[in-house]
Amino acid sequence: MYRFQFVSLPVVFLAFSLLCSLNVNGQESTDSVGYFDVVYLKDGTSLEGIVKKYDTRTEMVFQLPGGTPTMTIPSRLVERIVRGSIDGNVRSEWKTVSLPIKRGVYQICSGGLLAGTTAWAGDFVATPSLDYSVGYFLSESVGLGLGTGIHIYSPNAGEVVYPLFAEVRARIRPGKPSLYLSGAGGYGFAFPNEARSITNASGGILVHPAIGLSMPGKTYHLHLDVGVRYQEATWTREFWGVQGSTDLFEQSMQYTRFVVRFGMML
């Protein structure tokens, strides 16, 4: 005959407490982190839990409530993400979440206005510019890149510069929108323009610091910044003199223009 051996009550209580503590510590609920995420997929389904990691170009790592193992979802299947904070049992108003890319290749295309005075008449003008750059984000905060563009300083006089520059971008305040600083430096190339009587032209140093706001979206980020652009260039023009002779006039310019740019980052 078998004998049953009774375990004392304190031992049972200790074992039960240990099991409960292990179970609780192994879970990460939406209440513990103070928010919850709802992921809407393109097939119409939705998941509620916590987004652990999200790269809009590759995949999302998602965890359901209750400490379940994480799942990986291809980013191409994600329609949108909604995040809401939790205060006890009360869920606040949901706000759309767009998580930034932490590192990787980026492309930025932006158009802007260059505000300043012309070389010849000294009139105030606001002329267009276009910039394109490609680079790599070393982290969520810092990126390095190379760029080019078209900068028109005086369309009537034919003063157009084609820059080649290196840039650095630094996000100084995370959030939506986020505040960032950027700096570009390089060389602007200038070319003759017979239609504007420019027989010879040479470029010079380009420097462009700026501060702006980045507004993240689901597939791209919008950028708005203001800055100052310094560009050196030399223009030689041909003028008709008396008795059919021609005169050459050379002027070296140091453009200092206030710049407002609006662009998109992919």
* pLDDT tens digits along 97-141: 555 556 788 899 999 999 987 655 667 889 999 999 999 988 878
Write the secondary structure of 127-164 as one string of H (helix), E (strand) and C (coil): EEEEEEEEEEECCCCEEEEEEEEEEEEECCCCEEEEEE
Statement: 29-96 belongs to CATH 2.30.30.100 = yes
Rounded to the nearest 5°, which phi and psi values hold at 119? -70, -40
- In this prediction, what percent of the chain has a pLDDT beyond 90? 33
pLDDT at 90: 45
- Per-domain residue ranges of the chain: 29-96, 104-265
Q: Which CATH architecture has domain 104-265?
A: Beta Barrel (2.40)
On the question of pLDDT at 26 being above 80, the answer is no
Closest by alpha carbon to 200, among 139, 158, 146, 169?
Answer: 158
pLDDT at 69: 80
On the question of pLDDT at 21 being above 70, the answer is no
pTM: 0.61
Burial class (CB in 10 A: 0-12, 13-18, 19+), 221: buried
End-to-end CA distance of the chain: 77
Q: Are 212 and 226 in contact (CB under 8 A)?
A: yes
